[in-house]
Structure 1
C-alpha cells in the first residue's frame, strides 16, 4: 500500500507562478513514475482565489486549515507586487491584510511535527512568524536585507540556492524552488528518481543547495546522447558499485576505447571522475547527517582505500572531510 504524504502549497498574495508551479510539477511527475509514495497536493490561501504574477487567476483554493497533519509538508510561495499586463490585482491594503493573516496562521499552526519549505520571499512570512529563529535560511537576493531585519536569530546564508536545517528548508526562489523540490523528492524516493524527473522536465541541471554550482547527480547531463544518459542512469542507481570503463562499455555495447572517448566528449568528465563525483555527494550527505566514521564511509562508498577517497575528495573540497563536516555544523 502506498504511503501518502500531504503537501500544502500556500499561496500568498500575488504569488509568483514559477515559485509554486515548478515544485508542483516535480511532485506530479514523482507520482507518475512510481507508486510507493504518493504526494497529495492541496493549494491553500487566505482567500479562495488569487491573481498570480503572470496575470492568471487561480481559484478554488482551500482555506487555511485549523491544524496540519503530522509529517506533512507546508510550502510557502513567494510573491510580487507586479502583475503582468494591466489586469486588476489586490490593493496594498488587501495584500497587507492577507499577509498578516498568513503570518498569524503560521505562528499558530506550524509545529515541529511538520516540514516547512519556503520559496523566494515566502521566507519573509515564515520569518515574521518566528519559524526561522535559530535555523539556517536563505531567500532571493533582493529580499536578504529585509530578512535580516526581521530577526537577529535567523542564520542567514547568502548566495545559496537552498538551505536545509532539520525540518526547515528555504530556497532562493523562482527556478531554485524546483531544485529544492527535486532535493526533497530525492530524499524520499532516491536520487535516481529525482534525476529521472529532472531529465523529464528538461531541467538543465539539478543543482546542489550548498553553492551555485552543478549537482554531481546532473552534472554532464545537458547532452542529448541516449546511450550515455542510460549509462549515467545505471551509475546513479548504484554509485558504490565497482564501475569501470570496461564493464560500462559492455552495457553500452561499445569498445572500451570508443565508450571512454564518447563519455568524455558528451559529459565533459572521465568515467572515474563522474563516478567519484556521485560518491563524494553521498559522502557529503552522510557527513552532514551524523558523526559517521570516515574510514567506514570509505568502504561503504566503494573506494578501494582511504588514499583513493581523499584524492577524490580533494578534487571537490579544500577542507579535509573532518574540517568540512565541522564547517557544516556552524
Structure 2
C-alpha cells in the first residue's frame, strides 16, 4: 500500500481504523470488535460489555492494538485446566486472585500450577493476570474519560499507584503519556 500510494497515511498492525464517520475492520472477527467499539461510542461501555457477554465474547479488543494482544497471549496450548483458569481470570479480573485460588480453579496444586502454567503459557499465572489487567486498563484509558484511580479499581489493581507500578514493569512510558499519545493519534 505504501508503495502504491506513497502520500497515503497507512496505519499498520491494528484491527480496525476509525476515520471520521468511517470504520474499517481487518476481517470478520475484527468486524465484531469494530461494532462493539461503535456501540461503546454511541451507547456506553456497560452496554457494549453486556452485548459482548451475550455474544460469548468475554473480552473485546480496541482498534489500536495488534491482532494478537494480551487477551490471546499465552493461550496457544491445549491444556484444558489452564484454559479454564485463563477464562476465569479474564471473566473476573476485578477479584483479588491468589495463587491458591487460581490452583483451585485449575484443580491442581499451587506448585504444579506454577510449573505447568509457565510451560504452556510462557509466563507465570501472576504475570498473565497482570498482563490482562493492564490490557483492560489500556482499553479503558482509550475508551473512557475515567481517572486512573477508577480504572485501577475496575481492573482489580486497587489504586492508581499500583496501576502505575505494574505499568512500569511492562511499558516504557507512563499511563498518562500513553493516554495522551493515543488521544493525539485520533
User: TM-score, length-normalised on structure 1?
Assistant: 0.45
Q: Tell me the number of residue pairs that the alignment of Structure 1 and Structure 2 aligns.
A: 170
- What secondary structure does 1:222 align onto? coil
Matched, 1:293 2:153: no
Confirm or deny: 8 A CA contact 2:14 2:67 kept in the other structure. Answer: no
Deviation (angstroms), 1:287: 1.1
Structure ranking higher in helix proportion: 2
Structure 2 unaligned regions, length at least 5:
37-47
1:193 equivalent in structure 2: 56
Distance 1:214 1:191 in 2: 23
Over the aligned positions, Cα root-mean-square deviation in angstroms equals: 3.0
2:43 equivalent in structure 1: none
Distance 1:212 1:309 in 2: 22
Structure 1 unaligned regions, length at least 5:
1-141, 150-155, 197-205
Distance 2:74 2:110 in 1: 19
Distance 1:286 1:168, change over 3 A: farther
Distance 1:276 1:252, change over 3 A: same
Distance 1:144 1:307, change over 3 A: farther
Distance 2:123 2:135 in 1: 16
* Larger relative contact order (Cα-Cα within 8 Å, sequence gap ≥ 6): 2
Matched, 1:235 2:94: no
1:146 equivalent in structure 2: 5
Distance 1:207 1:158 in 2: 17
Distance 1:182 1:265 in 2: 32
Confirm or deny: 8 A CA contact 2:2 2:10 kept in the other structure. Answer: no
Deviation (angstroms), 1:320: 1.2
1:312 equivalent in structure 2: 166
Confirm or deny: 8 A CA contact 2:52 2:58 kept in the other structure. Answer: no
Residue by residue, what CA displacement relative to the aligned partner does 1:41-91 show, whole Å, maximum 9, x if unpaired? xxxxxxxxxxxxxxxxxxxxxxxxxxxxxxxxxxxxxxxxxxxxxxxxxxx
Bigger radius of gyration among the two: 1
Deviation (angstroms), 1:232: 0.8
2:39 equivalent in structure 1: none
1:110-149 aligned at under 5 Å gives the runs 142=1, 145-146=4-5, 148=7
Distance 1:183 1:147, change over 3 A: farther
Deviation (angstroms), 1:249: 0.5
1:183 equivalent in structure 2: 33
Matched, 1:281 2:135: yes
Distance 1:180 1:167, change over 3 A: farther
Residue by residue, what CA displacement relative to the aligned partner does 1:245-278 show, whole Å, maximum 9, x if unpaired? 1101012221111111111111112111111111
Matched, 1:223 2:77: yes
